[in-house]
A and B are shown apart, each in its own frame.
Chain A
Amino acid sequence: MASEPGGEIVGRFYPAASSRRIEAQLVAAPGGTLIVTGKDGSVLGEWSAARTDIADRIGSTPRFITFADGSTFETLENDRVDALIAGRRSSVSGFIHDLERFHPRLALVVAAVALLAFGLYRLALPVMVEIAVLVTPPALPQLMSAAALESLDRTVFSPSDLPVPRRAAIEKVFGELAQHGKRGVGGYTLRFRDGGAIGPNAFALPDGTLVLTDQLVALAGEKLDPVAGVLAHEIGHVDHEHSLRQLYRLAGVTGLILLVGGDIGAGAEDLLIQGTALLALSHSRANEAEADRYSVRLMARAGRNPAAIAEFFEILRDRYSDRSELDFLSTHPATPARIREIRRLAEELAIAGE
């Protein structure tokens, strides 16, 4: 085997569109032609190098050189092929191959991947989520909210049995709170429902619809402030657009995982997507804390007891600590830490206000 540049490259030749394999060699002749000759020296073909497709180098796999008529030359002598095309084409693919080569430098690539993935998740993703929230037409959250409420109405909810005076009192407080919310009085609607299997619960839909179940109102007994605290908390979710943000964040991460899916294997891909769901859960905890703080401030602005939401959580805790009805607790854990945090904030606010 000659090793000087310009010498022949040993490989196999397949005639146009044929699987017939012929041991052969390729030489680059002056004038930009490539000549393939058989073992016996017979010329198998001559082609213009400019119209020849030379595949990018991938590891040490055989290189395919495809001529204009569909005949192919295949060789393991990748370095010689690189020498042949040196300077003749863009160096992007050569650069990628150099980067891929097993070398201590790869440790830097690994570090760069970790850094980029972290930066993407912590910095770029939140920015993209904000942009997506900004460009979302208001019709979309409206449609989604209407759909969610409709399917809940059909499956678990039934019309509220709340006595009219109680309902009117809650609606009055709600109106006062809405005045101090970001969207103003018309920005939120309150709906009463019998929670059925869902039990005591309250939630906010992205279009500003708040749903309150009779069971939750009943938990507060005759008191109004705990219910108001919950409503302020839900208004916090609406004003921070938590559900839309959560949706976009999940979609963004899942999309990227899908795109690297082929590289990481189906099993690891499934695990990553599950992991994303867990991360979303932790995010929802952060959202809850944010809505708690919002509730404290909103209640204060409306001239009501800022710690009312803590009062509600205490009712919840006393009521359910020795029972196994966990549905509400699992998404809205009434932990002592959470109650402490609310009380602390409420006190701070009271001191600042005096």
Chain B
Amino acid sequence: MDRPLGIAEARRRILREPFIFTGTGREYFGIWIVNILLTVATLGIYSAWAKVRRKRYFHGNTWLAGSTFGYHARPVAILIGRIIVLAILVAYNLLAQSLPIVSGIVAVAFLFLVPWMVMRGIRFNARVTSYRNVRFDFTGGYWGAFLAFVLGGLLAWSTLGILAPVASQWMWRYMLGNLTYGGRTIECDPRLEKLYRQWLLPFAVVVFGLVGLAGLGVALAALIQTGSLDPGALWGDDAPVFLVALLLYAGLVPFFLLFSLAGLLYRAGTRNVALDETVIDNRHLMESNIHRGRYAWIAVSNLVATIATIGLARPWAAVRMARYLASCTALHVTGSLDDYLNELAATGTAVGSEFMDLEGFDLGF
């Protein structure tokens, strides 16, 4: 196999192909508002069709090496999935409300159901996604999902986030490492020390933020205690009600913001690490270089703009984020992307996929 390379062959040996997102807020606005109109008008039934149109818009505007991605889910499959998932959620909540003895068992059963739904969801999404006429597939099993999502989640929470990178490693390995494209494997093995390097900043943000908040709380309590701040004088008769509301929201909102910010920084950092160690078909290398601060800024300003415009800026915000993420992602293509063959597979049901959709699992592709 040691034959010398031809010039043309050598030249196309490694080519950096950036992802490009070409959608515009102007164009997506129409699709988005019609989606919402018809979803509300049909009491949610249209939401399945809306999801397909939205996904197709974003996939179809994501270019890699001169081709876009395709999304081929059938809306009816998604609708059935949504109905089943809503029924499960309603039944679960009713059971938990009315039979406390059984609800413990139901909660545990639900915990064991989640990995199955996540597995089916990733598989469904992979199988309905195509690039250059060839579909993706997902070969991850139940216990991999159990490890990545249930045990990983428990591990991260029970150690107050200190072991979160271990959970991230399991999750990325499971999600990306089990993907296949045209029957060829995709490998993803983010190294733990690299994940921990991305964990330092968000962890510091949480620690210093909590110290700051605690100081603020003590100062406020002292002010009320010494009488410098008199709630009764400020709000009159309704003071007790206002004070409760104030404590609830003034206390909870900063916590929420703090953890959201740390989450954004962490998510961006681990995406970089995971994609940088992702290899497709043993030869094409992924690259991700999100700037964490910029990512957090886009996410936060998007949310602020969306709220300030009572939602109308959402299409612009979604396109802005998609454009940024695409601009930070590239594929180092070795050789040609021409020789992949579709392995025809049934797409399966959308139940798991809809569970992830409705319960807000953000897989961040």
Binding site for B on A (CB under 8 A): 12, 14, 17-21, 55-56, 58-62, 64, 70-72, 74, 96, 99-103, 106, 109-110, 112-113, 116-117, 120, 124, 140, 143-144, 146-147, 150-151, 251, 255-256, 258-269, 271, 320, 324, 326, 329-330, 333, 335-336
Contacts and interface: CB of A to CB of B under 8 A. Distances in A.
Contacts of A62: 60, 68
Interface string B46-62: 01001101101101110
Interface in B89-141: 90, 93-94, 97-100, 131-134
Contacts of B100: 147, 150-151
- Of all A-B residue pairs in the complex, the 10 with the closest CB atoms, nearest first, are A61-B60, A14-B133, A17-B342, A143-B98, A100-B30, A19-B340, A19-B132, A259-B44, A259-B47, A267-B303
Nearest to B25: A102
B337 interface: yes
A101 B70 CA distance: 21
A268 B61 contact: no
A220 B241 CA distance: 23
A51 B307 CA distance: 46
Contacts of B337: 19
Contacts of B67: 12, 21, 74
B133 A261 contact: no
Nearest to A63: B60
Interface in B247-300: 260, 299
B344 A17 contact: yes
A110 B59 CA distance: 25
Interface in B166-209: 182
Given A14-B133, A263-B54, A336 B237 contact: yes
A144 B57 contact: no
B43 interface: yes
Interface string B1-40: 0000000000000000000000100111111111111111
A140 B306 CA distance: 40
Contacts of B338: 18-21
21 contacts: A17-B342, A20-B338, A59-B30, A61-B60, A64-B70, A70-B344, A99-B30, A102-B26, A102-B27, A147-B98, A151-B100, A259-B47, A261-B360, A262-B47, A262-B357, A263-B50, A265-B306, A266-B362, A268-B306, A326-B243, A329-B241
Given A14-B132, A74-B67, A143-B99, A120 B317 contact: no
A97 to B, nearest CB: 9
A314 to B, nearest CB: 13
Given A256-B40, A260-B47, A263-B39, A17 B134 contact: yes
Contacts of B240: 320, 324, 326, 329-330, 333
B318 interface: yes
Interface residues of B, number: 75
A324 B224 CA distance: 12
A57 to B, nearest CB: 10
A259 B47 CA distance: 6
Given A59-B57, A330-B244, A106 B360 contact: no
B341 interface: yes
A59 B60 contact: yes
Given A17-B341, A62-B68, A70-B342, A256 B134 contact: no
Contact of B37 (A70, A113, A124, A259): A113
Chain A contact surface mostly? helix
Contact of A271 (B98, B134, B307, B357): B307
Nearest to A114: B310
Given A17-B133, A255-B86, A265-B302, 18 more contacts: A19-B182, A19-B341, A61-B56, A102-B27, A109-B30, A124-B43, A143-B98, A144-B97, A147-B99, A147-B100, A251-B90, A259-B39, A263-B35, A320-B240, A330-B241, A333-B238, A333-B240, A335-B238
Nearest to A13: B133
B82 interface: yes
A333 B39 contact: no
A143 B103 CA distance: 13
A264 B98 contact: no
B245 to A, nearest CB: 8
A261 B358 contact: yes
Contacts of B241: 329-330, 333, 335
Contacts of B311: 264, 268
Contacts of A259: 39, 44, 47, 82, 358
B314 interface: yes
A58 B37 contact: no
A156 B340 CA distance: 64
B211 interface: no
Contact of A266 (B40, B237, B360): B360
Given A19-B338, A62-B68, A258 B358 contact: yes
